[in-house]
Amino acid sequence: MPRLCVLLAAVCFGTTGTAQALGPAEASPLSVGALRLLLGGVLLVALAHLGGHGLGVRGLAGLRPRGAVVAGALGVAAYQPLFFAGVRGTGVAVGTLVALGSAAVLTGALALVLGTRVTRRWAGATALAVAGVACLALAGGQGEVRLAGVLAALGAGASYAVYTLAAKRLLDGPHPADTVMAGLFAGGAVLLLPLLLLVDLGWVATWSGLLTVLWLGAVPTALAYRLFARGLRRLPAAEVATLTLAEPVTAALLGVAVLGEPVTVGLLLGGVLVVASLAVLTGAGPRGRRLVEAAA
């Protein structure tokens, strides 16, 4: 079940690009990202209250360790602008590849630095997944490699890795999953609030704009990260980061089914490689499961 929760979260994440594509053309990526995080944070706080896990001043003060709370909130806040800056600076294909691929690899590397073992099974699955993401990204257009954009995308990947490991540290404690997610996303939303003063928000007043924000805040943020937390609580952070690479497969399928994008050899090969990598992690026999679980 924890792996299924992470995979369902990745499916929710994968709807982000399609939702943005169907939204108003004048909606800037930064404004969409900031509003998504703001609404998602509000919904996560509300869900924590409904679940009996209040997040008043006392609730926030009770989250420990404080360093993990700060790191997690910074990771959540930094990912949005860095990812969009990477995509803008070096193209959607290269930016997506660098951000998503580096997130999985950096999560494993940071886990090693922090003293958590990772397995050869995870390394092989991650290599397959990153190769698959490369095929998916390049199938959408080559893009021009620019250093500034690549560095921003790497920053997005590092931010995601920091957030994942910080959330894992908090979830390993006594705190309910809803409280952890609400606390981190509320903190990240507060940090991004100044961005809303710098961007045009007129598009939100349209029906398509409002629906876009509601979907992004509710499904790929609030719902997705509740599922993500339930999986992360019981799985190694490195494995979770690799499992979430199901996101670009979902995005590619939606691109074909909803946006009418062409089916290419790169798209098919990328999908097969990512699905194969997920099968390595989720379809292991008893011995394989013990190896993965030993990394926790």
CA pair distance 65, 121, nearest whole angstrom: 31
CA 6 to mean position of chain CA atoms: 10
CA pair distance 193, 279, nearest whole angstrom: 40
Predicted local confidence at residue 56, as pLDDT: 52
Q: How many structural domains are present in the chain?
A: 1
Residue 193 is encoded by which pair of tokens? 């609030």
- pTM (two decimals): 0.85
CA distances, 226 to each of 6, 61, 172, 257, 265 (Å): 10, 21, 15, 27, 35
Angle at the Cα of 128 from the Cα atoms of 154 and 102, rounded to 5 degrees? 10
Predicted local confidence at residue 58, as pLDDT: 52
Asked whether the bond before 236 is cis by omega within 30 degrees of 0, the reply is no
Give me the average pLDDT of each 10-residue run along the chain (296 residues). Answer: 93 86 85 90 88 58 84 92 79 71 88 82 88 78 69 90 94 89 91 88 94 94 95 92 87 82 82 88 52 38
* Buried/exposed code over 146-162 (b: 16+ C-beta within 10 A; e: otherwise): beebbbbbbbbbbbbbb
DSSP secondary structure letter of residue 198: T
CA distances, 231 to each of 213, 277, 289 (Å): 26, 18, 15
CA pair distance 262, 147, nearest whole angstrom: 29
Predicted local confidence at residue 158, as pLDDT: 94
Predicted local confidence at residue 144, as pLDDT: 60
Q: Which of 174, 196, 158 is nearest to 75 (CA)?
A: 158
Hunting for tokens 């900031």 — which residue is that?
A: 34
**Backbone angle region of 284, left / alpha / beta, with phi > 0 → left and psi within -120 to 50 → alpha:** beta
CA pair distance 296, 291, nearest whole angstrom: 10
CA pair distance 17, 10, nearest whole angstrom: 13
CA pair distance 170, 184, nearest whole angstrom: 10
Structural domain for 146, as ranges: 2-294
What would the DSSP string read from start to end of 81-97? HHHHHHHHHH-HHHHHH
CA pair distance 206, 14, nearest whole angstrom: 24
CA pair distance 230, 178, nearest whole angstrom: 9
N- to C-terminal Cα distance for the chain? 16
DSSP secondary structure letter of residue 235: S
